[in-house]
Structure 1
């Protein structure tokens, strides 16, 4: 399996290729939030465009599992492009312009075909009025379509030109090692444990005041079913008010509350909390 190149910029990992983005989501259950789209409202990259950004935890997991490789193209983009690269890029722009223009050309030709009988009749009438004999008039549908296509293709048509988010030219790059902050190490262990053992999607829980949100399927189609809170020091006495606040919030938003921690043996453990009134409720957290 070829590794997905993840571009290292501003100490974060970005994906600019839409196929790579969907592979990360569909094959590897990595959310990869789109830039400018709220975490709580994920959308389709084909609608909103890229780039997509991987959280440090997603990035670390992708590298460790051989899913992706973190690359740095900074040096490559700082140098001026060569004449060959300029020519190649211009060819790609012209090709894209032609491809975007083609549907409009075909649409105008379809409209032209619908009115072809009236157009032929009008042209024939004008020629007769100019004194040209009927036997000398040779107007065919094929010749008119060829002439109309040539005219449309040479017209300057205003339109939106897509700016490629991924550089279409090959660029030199170097690989980069990712180092997590000390405060993220436990968070990553829990993230990795959930991703490995549970068939769920995991996103940040900032929108709900927790550490993680767990989804039974792609967040594009499912609501989160669980809220995960990380206990950095489970040996300390858990504040009752904090416990009640977390549980009550999970009930209000119809999700299951989970506390995650690392025990003395270095194992990741989970404690699920629920209100008695929700026990046996089949519609709870669905």
Structure 2
């Protein structure tokens, strides 16, 4: 069993994971999917085949922290503190390493370009000037494409956890149905594209088609009839069922005070018969 707590980075209102080991662990043990949101610097508008970081919903963050699997850090503050603690020699070593990586990238790109030119010369039987493969130290190196290590694994875990921040504010009705489904083996993704809170999968979303459109409610919330009809029709139309749930409160017969209530979470699925 892995007892390690992983840091979740809080950056400009978003909760992000940069550690692939944390992503694998959360997915396998806690059924947390998240949304990959990273793009390549060369292709900032790409919207498929995205990579790290993984963005988490507030409900996912709350669930992980509540179960002792993670803690939240203010990423900007932590890295600023870490950078300020570096000596001049440490900073010079980091700058030199980035310079070295930039030169290697540049020379690799030139080598590939020369290979293309050689192939073209063979076809047209004409000489084309090749790029030099020697580095001119008098010219500045472009560091734009050099990756920066944003992983917090290099920082001490106890220091990170000591500087952790509080839990995100969540809507209780949304969180309770999220928690209920995850604890029963479902995997959940955001449901915005279907106009619901979540989309639920009976197993890993890479292997299964989603089964439910999910909305959480308070037990005494009134649900308009048109919404019941529309939710059922929409779910059936996209080969899913509409799942709603709420926290039922029942007074304990042994004690009648407000602090002694037996709470049970109930769920109901709605389908449109003969439709879709």
- Common fold: TM-score over 0.5: yes
Smaller-chain TM-score bracket: 0.5 to 0.7
Determine if contact 1:44/1:220 at 8 Å carries over to the other structure: no
2:199 to 189, 213, 232: 213
Determine if contact 1:227/1:255 at 8 Å carries over to the other structure: yes
Distance 1:88 1:168, change over 3 A: farther
Q: Distance in 2 between matches of 1:195 and 1:27?
A: 11
Q: Which residue of 1 aligns with 2:145?
A: 161
2:133 to 152, 156, 159: 152
Q: Which residue of 2 aligns with 1:249?
A: 234
Distance 1:43 1:268, change over 3 A: farther
2:176 to 180, 189, 193: 189
Distance 1:25 1:222, change over 3 A: same
2:181 match: secondary structure: helix
TM-score by length of 2: 0.67
Distance 1:51 1:152, change over 3 A: same
Q: Which residue of 2 aligns with 1:272?
A: 269
Q: Which residue of 2 aligns with 1:96?
A: 101
Q: Distance in 2 between matches of 1:193 and 1:218?
A: 17
1:267 match: secondary structure: strand
Unaligned runs of 5+ in 1: 115-150, 279-283
Q: Which residue of 1 aligns with 2:126?
A: none
Distance 1:188 1:102, change over 3 A: same
Distance 1:88 1:45, change over 3 A: farther
Structure number with the higher helix fraction is: 1
Q: Which residue of 1 aligns with 2:255?
A: none
Q: Which residue of 1 aligns with 2:6?
A: 4
TM-score by length of 1: 0.65
Structure number with the higher strand fraction is: 2
Q: Distance in 1 between matches of 2:232 and 2:15?
A: 34
Q: Which residue of 1 aligns with 2:73?
A: 71
Distance 1:108 1:230, change over 3 A: closer
Unaligned runs of 5+ in 2: 40-45, 120-131, 250-261
Structure with max Cα Rg: 1
Distance 1:210 1:109, change over 3 A: closer
Q: Distance in 2 between matches of 1:66 and 1:17?
A: 17
Q: Which residue of 1 aligns with 2:123?
A: none
- For residues 73-126 of structure 1, the C-alpha deviation after alignment (integer angstroms, 9 at most, x for no partner) is 515516645313312312331343355357557758978999xxxxxxxxxxxx
1:85 to 82, 87, 90: 90
